Structure 1
């Protein structure tokens, strides 16, 4: 019998040996050729994956813990930019590694995504942009009948478009959703043989077999070919092998017999790989489960939980036939509506890679006193919201010397006013909407289901994702104002309906008053209100005056806040035939038409109260002239009070916090404008009413 201590010693030695082996695999893993370790290949070096069970999926732990992973995406236009956001959400949800996104975009997508990532402030993610226009000439000679157009061919030029020192990259279509950590996919680079350069999943439809319909002639491919919605590229090897010359020669040869590509870059990739099968590593099909008509995706996996990437590679998307389509749809909808703010999390165990701005904000937030009376105001002021510009397709208005964009902001509870506003204002609009991710999808369905809204292409909707305790009204206005593209803007609110002729009247007034040479002029649009939800809307000044005299309409807030619009001088307006000047007075907050480059709103004002007043004071401090237009008017329509106005009316602490903001604002105004701003400090001491 062995001494009692001996088995324990042997066990400890075995455990130590096992740990050393694991350490060796960890250190050498990226350089090992797993294809050689696991036996013979079935497709010129490809691994013998079981398409029903991914038994040979590489271990995630073989990657260095904080290795930077590179992902390339080609994206153009408004709708594709929305798809990218959903894809990125799924990537960030599962990822445990830093990511570097390489986005090849047109100008539209770049403007949207650059703003989005800048305001999202996700730690451990870098984003680089590449101008798609610079590479179109390399593929424009290829006829393409696929709906993606030229952009669908740009994946072919990635080896030359991306930085020359970038060796490996995962390339993704915009219509894929991840259900696993992308690091598991990155680990397949370790499986490449010395000659392999491209990792792909087999195409799961019979497209390339050529038997879908009579006279169907697809491009040449190996069997069913490969789907290029998910690609692993060894960029260094492709460059050394002369990839550009290779694919161009192949494409020219095939185009001698076939007039165009039907599936864009996928046709050319497959034609090249038919001639050079040794270049490809066959990936497990669960990394690109292709949901489309004529698909064999159901044969790819035994359980829905096995899948890694869902590819909605059909314009029909949700209408495809698949036994697990409800599961796939729910996963996709989960990320559509997932709160992107929750993805601003540091990577566990990796050095902090938060943007400097985010770190400064976190430090400032941590220093706030949660028990302070104005904590919510201070917190909202430091909160940075995600911004998704032009959430829906938008067509630029034709350039005009004198044109006006209506600028306003709203939340979900004012959505029903959009259709009426569109009927009153035919011109361009720039609207900022304060929504959650889930509400954004409701808004999308609302617009698509509205004959009025879906027909308009000159309305730009900019989403500001909800975060923080108070409504950031002036920040929303600034987002909408910054995106206006016309010479002038009409700064309005969503619950005001302008007279039907106002758009044309404002354009004519800008021309008649020759405001190009008089930059600092604010045109005042007199404001009225109705107390009735149903109103025979006046079509002229004469009709409005009749309703005013009959007690159906009133000057705006005449009973609770007359100071807000009294300087407009409604008595004079009744008789006016030409624009007339008015002077600033305390608490004046008219609705005005200004040059597009006018001063921005002060974003410290959140919730209800004094947000427009501060802006008008800034205009006056900069010596803007106020001119009241004699035929212009806009009418406030009744609605339920907002939460912020209710808090303002009921809470003395709320009003005290607002008063503190006003004092701070006036101090800043005095520092910027000196003695000119003294009158605002004097006005602040005068007694005020309470709304």
Structure 2
């Protein structure tokens, strides 16, 4: 019996040893490189295979490819972040990103819309931008969205050579592509519909944060907005699971600047520019009723300095489309709206029907770089506006079914 027990232990030991030897050998075979990366600290692959770099998920419609986290920020805030700035851009407007992060200096997520034929260039350009302007690498996470599920080709491999040079905060390769005409088209003047609401949602979907501020890439927030809003929140102890009291969203009055090179950081500077006619309310010429409910005169008389606070509340009415800071529990943008018209109004409308209160902050604001005028827009603007107006009518009827107990209507 004793010999039999010893033989059993011996063969058990041999079997275990054989398994360990085979496991160690498998870690060094090419087919198990990923497994070795998990168990061995010395396995670092800074440039994964092209197939992995081109991995994507589809949007809910199944027509857009989403490449998340093409580049992640080097210094992401603790998860979850308190407030994250979200924005979206075409290739041409990427030039605004460095200026935006310079003003914000905190966590940002940027969703970049790339036509399928130009996917091969985007990784090199984004990598160059991060190397030309270190603040971009520190704070910005990039996601890429591209139409055409059946399209061939994915994201290009990151360039391994030396950066050929920078022109300002952008790599030379970016300017070469713009000057050549390949990247010169504006957001709404592309061969494919610009899915602004999908891009906004993509930036949010892959960002864990308590609050989000979504603005366009050619806008700037007021100076110190990030730190001032954190100080404003501190007494309330908001969490991921606890939305603001009374379903509150925080409105940032929006303005346009005549000269993009003179960007006021604080409210007194902005008011001075307004009195000098160098700044005016957003969409003042194009759609005054879209911003009028903000009540700019009342905001001007609210405190200009001191700790951020709510100045007053405003009840939403059609077609107000304010720029707001929302809690992560807020509704998403409706991704059916593309191109020009009703993409932000529809979101504000749903916030209202869902019971949210619109509270205007007293010292915070956002600015568009340049006056909005009729000659700024593309030729198909009116056609797109009419199409989205019909969609908006359907959307409002859908809200009645989505919120059957709500007494509020988008009217």
TM-score normalised according to structure 1 size: 0.43
**C-alpha displacement of 1:316:** 9.9
- What secondary structure, in the 3-state scheme, does the structure 1 residue paired with 2:112 have? strand
2:326 aligned partner? 594
Structure 1 residue matching 2:71: 3-state secondary structure: coil
Secondary structure of the residue that 1:449 maps to in structure 2?
A: helix
Using a 3 Å threshold, how does the CA distance of structure 1 residues 265 and 543 change in structure 2: closer, same or farther?
A: same
- Deviation of residue 657 (structure 1)? 1.6
Pairing 1:397–2:127 present: no
User: Aligned partners of 1:605, 1:566: CA distance in 2, in Å?
Assistant: 23
Give 1:432 deviation, angstroms: 1.2
Following superposition, the deviation at residue 393 of structure 1 comes to 3.1
Q: Deviation per CA, 1:397-443, whole angstroms, max 9, x where unpaired? A: 1257x820001111101100010011000111122111142242243
Contact in 2 for aligned 1:607/1:644 (Cα 8 Å): no
CA offset digits 1:359-378 (Å, max 9, x no partner): xxxxxxxxxxxxxxxxxxxx
The aligned counterpart of 2:389 is 659
Cα 1:587–1:674 shift into 2, 3 Å: same
Correspondences of 1:447-596 after superposition (within 5 Å) = 447-453=129-135, 455-456=137-138, 458-467=139-148, 469-512=192-235, 518=245, 520-535=247-262, 537-577=263-303, 578-579=309-310, 580-596=312-328
Bigger-Rg structure (1/2): 1
Cα-to-partner distance string for 1:283-320 (whole Å, 9 max, x where unaligned): xxxxxxxxxxxxxxxxxxxxxxxxxxxxxx99899xxx
Give the Cα separation in 1 of the matches to 2:44 and 2:327. Answer: 45
Alignment correspondent of 1:385: 64
- Compute the displacement of 1:245 (Å): 2.5
Q: Does 1:438 align with 2:102?
A: no
Structure 2 CA distance, aligned partners of 1:479 and 1:416?
20
Asked if the contact 2:130–2:137 (Cα under 8 Å) also holds between the matched residues in 1, the reply is no
Which stretches in structure 1 are left out of the alignment for 5+ residues? 1-239, 252-263, 270-312, 318-331, 342-356, 359-379, 684-691
Cα distance in 1 for residues equivalent to 2:249 and 2:44: 51
Q: Which residue of 2 aligns with 1:406?
A: 85
Could you tell me whether the CA contact under 8 Å between 1:412 and 1:439 is conserved in 2? no
Question: Per-residue CA shift, 1:134-187, capped at 9, x if unaligned?
Answer: xxxxxxxxxxxxxxxxxxxxxxxxxxxxxxxxxxxxxxxxxxxxxxxxxxxxxx
CA contact (8 A) 1:608 1:644 kept: no
C-alpha separation in 2, matches of 1:487 and 1:404: 6
Superposition pairs for residues 117-266 of structure 1, below 5 Å? 244-247=19-22, 265=28
Q: For 2:69, what is the secondary structure of its paired residue?
A: coil
RMSD (Å) for aligned C-alpha atoms: 3.8
Alignment-derived partner of residue 628 in structure 1 = 360
* DSSP 3-state at the match of 1:418: helix
State the Cα distance separating 1:242 from its structure 2 match: 7.3
Q: Which residue of the partner structure matches residue 671 of structure 1?
A: 401
Output the CA distance in 2 between the equivalents of 1:668 and 1:439: 40
Tell me the TM-score normalised to structure 2 length.
Answer: 0.70
Q: Distance in 1 between matches of 2:62 and 2:23?
A: 50
Cα offset, 1:539, TM superposition: 2.3
* Distance in 1 between residues matched to 2:283 and 2:235, nearest whole Å: 31
Q: Report whether the alignment pairs 1:416 with 2:139.
A: no
Q: Distance in 2 between matches of 1:449 and 1:508?
A: 32
> Is the 1:471–1:644 contact (alpha carbons within 8 Å) kept by the matching residues of 2?
no
